[in-house]
């Protein structure tokens, strides 16, 4: 599997997509393009990018609405690259969903530097490699699925976000409060949401959900994702 960062470019202008896509590919990125919100969401169903570069003015969805839908599916970083220059739009984007905001026209070296900065800061959000935890469990977060005893199992957006947080801290306890904040967006979220999601994930991922080996309860009031013990491998 390639180590190149995956970018999704979303813009109504095919010419811009072609020119910018070519430059980014020459700089080593793997680039997918979409000319509408519907096409962008369909692309996400095929696999998660490391970064979405998004124009706000699209033919079918406003960029803010598309960004909200993207964030519902996974904690995917978003860089807004837009002709919309109003300060209010910039503030709304940065508060709601964007890591950064670049206005058109833009200088490519500056845009590339901003992309590199975002990727370096958020590289652990969506592991792009397969996470092989044992002979009977492989997690593929970029595809929102897992392979359990040779069978492919789909993961919901919430389950994917939960596993993304836990896999970024593999072998380390993550508290319920941290999960509520990172996955549900607020430490005030219902603690039962964590427990219910953990139970569902165990039913999907564990060969024996009553005696979990991979998604375990830690002694510190949290949960931990771990590889199978050597004696089980």
Buried b / exposed e across 200-210, counting CB within 10 Å, b at 16+? bbbebbbeeee
CB-based contacts of 145: which residues, under 8 Å, 6+ apart? 152, 153, 154, 155
Instruction: Identify whether the C-beta of residue 43 lies closer than 8 Å to the C-beta of residue 50.
Output: no
pLDDT tens track for 84-115? 988 888 888 888 889 899 999 999 999 999 99
pLDDT of residue 52: 95
Same structural domain, 111 and 22: yes
End residue of a domain, out of 74, 93, 122: 122
Same structural domain, 135 and 113: no
CA angle, 220 then 224 then 226, to 5°:
140
Query: In this structure, what CATH number is given to the domain that contains residue 185?
Result: 1.10.10.10
Same structural domain, 139 and 90: no
Instruction: Identify whether the C-beta of residue 76 lies closer than 8 Å to the C-beta of residue 48.
Output: yes
3-state secondary structure string across 180-227: HHHHCCCCCCCHHHHHHHHHHHHHHHCCCCCCCCCEEECCCCEEEECC
End residue of a domain, out of 72, 97, 122: 122
Domain assignment present for residue 174? The answer is: yes
Query: In this structure, what CATH number is given to the domain that contains residue 65?
Result: 3.40.50.2300
Same structural domain, 34 and 14: yes
Separation CA 178–CA 181 (nearest Å): 5
Domain assignment present for residue 1? The answer is: no
Same structural domain, 169 and 143: yes
What's the total number of domains in the chain? 2
- Please compute the mean of the pLDDT values over residues 214-228 and round it to a whole number: 87
pLDDT tens track for 155-190? 887 888 888 888 878 888 888 888 887 777 666 668
- Structural domain boundaries, residue 215: 131-225
CA angle, 69 then 156 then 6, to 5°:
60
End residue of a domain, out of 80, 98, 122: 122
Instruction: Identify whether the C-beta of residue 198 lies closer than 8 Å to the C-beta of residue 208.
Output: no
**If DSSP codes are grouped into helix, strand and coil, which group holds residue 175?**
strand
Same structural domain, 51 and 138: no
- Mind giving me the DSSP string for 123-148? TTSS--S-EEEETTEEEEGGGTEEEE
Domain assignment present for residue 232? The answer is: no
pLDDT(231) > 60: no
Same structural domain, 137 and 99: no
Q: What is the DSSP letter of 5?
A: P
Domain assignment present for residue 191? The answer is: yes
Same structural domain, 49 and 112: yes
């Amino acid at each position: 599997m390639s180590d190149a960062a995956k970018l999704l470019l979303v813009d109504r202008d095919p010419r811009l997509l072609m020119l910018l896509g070519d430059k980014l590919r020459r700089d080593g990125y793997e680039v997918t393009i979409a000319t509408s919100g519907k096409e962008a969401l369909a692309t996400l169903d095929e696999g998660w990018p490391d970064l979405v570069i998004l124009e706000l003015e699209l033919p079918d969805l406003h960029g803010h609405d598309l960004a909200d839908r993207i964030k519902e599916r996974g904690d995917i970083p978003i860089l807004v690259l837009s002709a919309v220059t109003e300060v209010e739009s910039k503030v709304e984007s940065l508060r709601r969903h964007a890591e950064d905001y670049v206005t058109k026209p833009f200088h490519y070296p500056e845009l590339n530097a901003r992309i590199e900065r975002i990727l370096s800061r958020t590289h652990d959000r969506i592991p792009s490699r397969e996470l092989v935890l044992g002979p009977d469990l492989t997690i593929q977060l970029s595809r929102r699925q897992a392979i359990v005893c040779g069978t492919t199992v789909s993961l919901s957006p919430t389950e994917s976000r939960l596993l993304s947080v836990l896999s970024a801290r593999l072998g380390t306890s993550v508290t319920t409060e941290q999960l509520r904040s990172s996955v549900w967006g607020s430490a005030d979220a219902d603690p039962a949401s964590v427990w219910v999601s953990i139970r569902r994930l165990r039913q999907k991922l564990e060969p024996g959900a009553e005696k979990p080996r991979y998604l375990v309860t830690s002694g510190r009031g949290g949960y931990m994702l771990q590889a199978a013990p050597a004696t089980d491998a």
